[in-house]
Amino acid sequence: MTANLTSGGAEPPDPGPGSGQGSLPSPPIHPWHQPPRKTHHAVGLMTLALSCYLGLAYGALPALWKHYEHEKKLAGLPMVTTTSLGLPGDPINLAFVGSARDILCAMHEAGWYPADPVTLRTSIEISGSVLLDRPYPTAPVSPLYYAGRSEDLAFEKPDGRSADRRHHVRLWRVLDSGDQDRPVWLAAATYDLGIRLSRYTGAVTHRIAPDIDLERKLIATSVEDARLLEARYTISGIGPTLMARNGGGDLYFTDGELWVLLLTEDCRKRDAPPLVPASPIITQFKDQLWKNLADTISQQSH
């Protein structure tokens, strides 16, 4: 007599893997539903590192090396000029402390010429100087604007026969009385490499050399050699800048420091060397790093 195994409440055994019967296999897990892996952890670390870098590079470090201990009233002022079209122009990289007469005397003794105003006659004359290689040591400079007004003074020093290549600087009086109780002027100094068409407007203009810190040093040295520099110190300017363009589209780089030239009064010659107080330690560290970088850039460009 055969026993009925299904009638007494006992469950039949599950079929084996090869029986072809039983429950269906579980569906595969979609890739989107996979549990987190090591890659997600790596992405999180990279995001954290990037956030830390941005915070340091654009927040903490610039705040640390900003310093205005010698001319506190210059803190917060714009450090880039503009063109007549409102485009960013040449950066501010110098400041002069002294009267207009002090500046005129110092620049004359240092071998610089005051630039002629831009008129039809001077425009024709500078064109002839460039095309015919004729001297024009007082050739006009195109106007740049600071706080909505063009330069108060402009000087140049030829580098060759014509006005094609020259050193030049524009100055704006920004304070009637600074920390030294004397007028303060901001200045933008660059070196003209030659004539070309503007990258933005197509107008004929000069092309500047990219290392604008060299021009800053040239002016300071020439005034010191004339024995009319009482002191030179640095404050924060535009800040470290690696690849920026001026109003003509020319690339430039700078450590971002502003050299302040305290001139002697009434054209009195100075026998002792000028006073050069040290910058804050963090600024010296930044400047040394920047000097190494600028040297590398200069070597690669030659």
pLDDT tens readout for residues 163-177: 889 999 999 999 999
Q: Is the pLDDT of residue 270 over 80?
A: yes
Domain assignment present for residue 16? The answer is: no
Domain assignment present for residue 17? The answer is: no
Domain assignment present for residue 63? The answer is: no
Total domains present in the chain: 1
Domain that holds residue 184: 70-294
Domain assignment present for residue 49? The answer is: no
Domain assignment present for residue 270? The answer is: yes
Instruction: Decide which of 158 and 200 is more confident.
Output: 158
Domain assignment present for residue 224? The answer is: yes
Structure tokens at 71: 């001319």
CA distance 22 to 25: 9
DSSP string, 250-290: -EEEE--EEEEEEEPGGG---SSPPB-PPPPHHHHHHHHHH
pLDDT tens readout for residues 132-182: 889 999 999 999 999 999 999 999 999 988 888 999 999 999 999 999 999
pTM of structure? 0.73
Domain assignment present for residue 112? The answer is: yes
Q: Are strands 153-158 and 113-114 parallel, antiparallel or unpaired?
A: antiparallel
| Band of pLDDT at residue 201, cut at 50, 70 and 90 | low
Residues 6 or more apart from 198 whose CB is under 8 A from it? 204, 205, 247, 248, 249
Taking alpha carbons only, the member of 107, 66, 71 closest to residue 257 is 66
